[in-house]
């Protein structure tokens, strides 16, 4: 960190550990992205626990969490330590850009009613129906179906969290804030799932994916741009402008899609009703 | 081993590309074009603005394609 830089600033592409707007945005991005994925994982674990065996399902969850923590620690540290920051930002930024665009375009289509919204209650019912067709739970010992389904569900959903945490962590030495955001999201979702003991169908997943999509696309644009040598006007302040620009474009996209639907007389798009 | 490699590749292609190829190819093409402009000596700030606009266009194109599918 340069001596004349305030604590919390990006310096030579690295975050110095203080609290600044980029760290806050990183915590928020990791929190929202992780919360969405944890809600989806909680639905799977809940379905397994309710229909089969809680003990084996929870062992599966623990095994997946340990695997994810190892992946984050190994890849997050290795990328930050061994890959030059310019290359890292280009590659990681490009991945974030691709991933963020997928999230935001899906969220725009869902917000405009052109794509069915995520329905945790329906996913829960489908999981339960699938598990009911499996052989019955053994009277004693481990139920490997419960373990496998819970492990796979948490690992696959968690990989998206790990991807976001590692990419943010590696690009700007923001592993700490990113892990903090993801951990907070995990604790809150688990606490609510334990209290509610039902699929978390009322979590505004689409709105959260909308915000995260804007953030991932924004950071991906900034970092991949820096990676190829773009000097953003206003330096780090450009992130805020890029995020605001993408948010405006995304909202305009939703509005345009709804207008287009009204003109064409498509009721699903016009009223924002879900469409498969 | 081959099955594992195939499953591994399938997982990552599904993870990064999914059913929206344009959202994978588009940003890479835009990055290459932006790199070429910088290499040709175009002002970095201008390239940044064009880069942002081009990414917005990729997103709009993908949404346009999705609504027609």
Top mean-pLDDT range of A8-12, A180-184, B42-46, B55-59: B55-59
pLDDT at A20: 67
| A94–B15 CB contact, under 8 Å | no
Q: Chain A residues contacting B, CB < 8 Å?
A: 90, 94-95, 97-99, 101-102, 104-105, 108-109, 114-115, 159-160, 163, 217, 220-221, 224-225, 228-233, 238, 242, 245-246, 249, 253, 257, 260
- By Cβ distance, the residue of B52, B55, B63 closest to A253 is B63
| B67–A231 CB contact, under 8 Å | no
**Which residues does chain B have with pLDDT short of 70?**
69
Task: Compute the mean pLDDT over every residue in chain A, rounded to the nearest whole number.
Answer: 80
Q: Chain B residues contacting A, CB < 8 Å?
A: 15-16, 18, 20, 23-24, 26-28, 31, 34-35, 38, 44-45, 47-48, 51-52, 55-56, 58-60, 62-63, 66-67
To the nearest whole Å, the CA of B9 is away from the closest chain A CA by 15
Sign of the torsion angle spanned by Cα atoms A124, A39, A218, A210: positive
- By Cβ distance, the residue of B20, B35, B45 closest to A102 is B20
For residue A159 the two structure tokens come to 């990989």
CA–CA dist B43, A230 (Å, integer): 9
Minimum CA–CA partner of A91 in chain B: B28
Return the H-helix or E-strand segment holding A167.
helix A144-172
State yes or no: pLDDT of A176 exceeds 60.
yes
Domain ranges of chain A: 19-271
Long-range contacts formed by A185-192: CB under 8 A, 24+ apart: A185/A30, A185/A31, A185/A32, A185/A34, A185/A35, A185/A38, A186/A34, A186/A38, A188/A35, A189/A35, A189/A38, A189/A39, A189/A42, A190/A38, A190/A42
State yes or no: pLDDT of A4 exceeds 50.
no
Q: What is the ipTM of this complex?
A: 0.88
Contacts of A228 in chain B (CB under 8 A): 31, 34-35, 38
pLDDT at B56: 95
């Amino acid at each position: 960190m340069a001596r004349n830089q305030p604590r919390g600033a990006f310096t030579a592409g690295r975050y110095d550990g203080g609290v600044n707007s980029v760290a806050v945005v990183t915590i928020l991005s990791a929190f929202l992205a992780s919360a969405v994925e944890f809600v989806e994982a909680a639905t799977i674990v809940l379905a397994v626990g309710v229909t089969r065996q809680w003990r084996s399902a929870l062992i599966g969850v623990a095994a997946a969490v340990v695997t994810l923590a190892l992946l984050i620690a190994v890849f997050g540290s290795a990328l930050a330590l061994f890959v030059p920051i310019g290359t890292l930002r280009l590659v990681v930024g490009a991945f974030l850009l691709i991933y963020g665009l997928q999230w935001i375009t899906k969220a725009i289509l869902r917000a405009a009613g052109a794509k069915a919204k995520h329905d945790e209650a329906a996913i829960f019912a489908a999981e339960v129906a699938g598990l009911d067709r499996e052989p019955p739970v053994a009277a004693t010992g481990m139920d490997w179906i419960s373990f496998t389904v819970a492990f796979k569900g948490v690992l696959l959903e968690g990989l998206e969290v790990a991807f976001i945490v590692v990419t943010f962590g590696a690009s700007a030495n923001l592993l700490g804030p990113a892990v903090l955001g993801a951990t907070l999201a995990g604790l809150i979702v688990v606490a609510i799932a334990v209290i509610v003991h039902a699929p978390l169908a009322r979590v505004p997943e689409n709105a959260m994916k909308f915000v995260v999509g804007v953030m991932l696309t924004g950071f991906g644009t900034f970092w991949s741009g820096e990676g190829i040598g773009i000097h953003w006007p206003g330096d780090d302040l450009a992130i805020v402008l890029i995020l605001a620009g993408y948010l405006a474009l995304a909202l305009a996209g939703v509005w345009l899609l709804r207008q287009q639907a009204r003109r064409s007389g498509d009721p699903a798009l016009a009223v924002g009703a879900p469409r498969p | 081993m081959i099955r594992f490699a195939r499953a591994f590749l399938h997982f990552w292609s599904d993870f990064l590309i999914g059913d929206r190829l344009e959202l994978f190819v588009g940003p890479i093409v835009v990055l290459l074009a932006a790199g070429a402009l910088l290499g040709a000596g175009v002002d970095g700030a201008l390239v940044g603005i064009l880069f942002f606009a081009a990414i917005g266009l990729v997103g709009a194109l993908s949404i346009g394609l999705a609504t027609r599918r």
